[in-house]
Amino acid sequence: MVRRTRDDAADTRARILASAQKLIRQRGLHCVTLDDVARAIGMTRGAVYAHFRSRTALLGALLSCAEADFAARLAPLSQARANAGPGALERLLAALLHGDDIARHVSLVGFLLQHKCGAACELCPLRARVLRAVEILHDTFAALLPEPGLAGLLVAHLWGLLSARALQLAPSGLPGCAASLARLYVGPGMQPDAHALPATVRRVDSTGHAALLRDIP
């Protein structure tokens, strides 16, 4: 009975998160409340609050989903030494652009990046987590580019592609853009023979998640 109850709770939590992601993508994060999420899946407000006591708690769980998506995509690249060196940038971009799993997080990430307040609040730690991830992604690109100073531009370029996909302004086949995007930043014969991704990305914890987004409270 206990096992069944725990499984039911996990299933309910997953349904709530899936509903929230769908509504946020359709309406934008500012237009979505816990009540909206509950109504979308035929649950009571109390049932949703039993899992997430505030909107911030729900956003934190959604951010953890985004972090897990990034980690899962980068884990194969960070674990296999043979994946480093020439072509590493294209493989990294293809992994990040594959499917819609990352694009569905664009609204949440954009909202947190734009969040500003005069004093510490519940959203500030979430924004700090996003900024750490962006910084590590920047450093990852810098290590793979012949001109490290272009890393910030590449991050912005990647964000633009994912945002366009989230708004359905770009096709779902974004991985096909990886080769062209890599060529824009790495000319023929200019790819550095990097040993592997940076140490912060190479490390893999006991759960198998890449350390890129490992620092989850």
At 195-215, the pLDDT tens digits run: 444 444 443 333 333 333 333
pTM score of the predicted model: 0.75
Domain boundaries, the chain: 1-53, 60-213
Give the pLDDT score at 63: 93
Residue 10: half-sphere exposure toward Cβ, Cα within 13 Å: 6
Give the pLDDT score at 173: 63
Distance, in Å, from the CA atom of 216 to the CA atom of 68, rounded to the nearest integer, reads 10
Per-residue pLDDT of the chain (217 residues; tens, 9 = 90+): 445 577 778 888 999 999 998 888 888 888 888 999 999 989 888 889 899 988 899 999 999 999 998 888 877 666 544 455 668 888 889 888 887 778 888 888 988 988 887 676 888 999 999 999 999 899 989 988 888 999 999 999 999 988 888 877 766 667 678 888 898 898 654 444 444 444 444 433 333 333 333 332 3
Query: What does the angle CA 209 – CA 121 – CA 18 come to, to the nearest 5 degrees?
Result: 45
Give the pLDDT score at 138: 92
- Taking alpha carbons only, the member of 21, 184, 16 closest to residue 100 is 21
Give buried/exposed letters for 90-116 (b at 16+ CB in 10 A, else e): bbbbbbbbeeeebbbbbbbbbbbeeee
Distance, in Å, from the CA atom of 116 to the CA atom of 127, rounded to the nearest integer, reads 9
Instruction: Pick 1-53's CATH classification: 1.10.10.60, 3.10.180.10, 1.20.58.1610, 1.10.3720.10.
Output: 1.10.10.60
Query: What does the angle CA 8 – CA 12 – CA 15 come to, to the nearest 5 degrees?
Result: 140
Give the pLDDT score at 175: 67
Give the pLDDT score at 172: 63
Query: What does the angle CA 158 – CA 161 – CA 166 come to, to the nearest 5 degrees?
Result: 125
